[in-house]
Amino acid sequence: MNKLVVVLIALALSCIVGCGDMWNMFSRKKMENFDGDYKVTTFDDSFVREWEVKDGKVTSEVEKGYYYFWAIDPNDEDEELYIQTPMNKTIIEEM
């Protein structure tokens, strides 16, 4: 009977640790980073805007519903712009 209690305690502890790992994984999914080169397109009924992200990150925050990134300024390639776009109106393509 003692072996059964020890096994049950070990299973309960492993479940607690495993559940903690799953919780951490899900909390990290709230914010994801895409690393690399991307073309980001934002569209609406009246406009389409495109930006290039070179060797950078596009961060998504699902709860807030936005992507955040530094993009090359289309008017001055030496400058970068900090952009925030709504996720439901944005397409991200790997270049």
Q: Cα separation of 49 and 67, whole Å?
A: 14
| pLDDT per residue as tens digits for the range 4-26 | 655 556 555 555 555 555 544 44
Q: Cα separation of 85 and 40, whole Å?
A: 9
| pLDDT per residue as tens digits for the range 32-78 | 666 788 899 999 888 899 989 988 888 887 788 899 999 988 888 88
Q: CA-based Rg of the chain, rounded to a whole angstrom?
A: 22
Q: Where are the domains of the chain?
A: 32-94
Q: Using DSSP bridges, classify how beta strands 76-86 and 90-94 pair: parallel, antiparallel or unpaired.
A: unpaired
Cβ atoms of residues 94 and 37 within 8 Å: yes
pLDDT for the residue 26: 47
Q: How many residues does the chain have?
A: 95
Instruction: For residue 46, give the DSSP letter.
Output: S
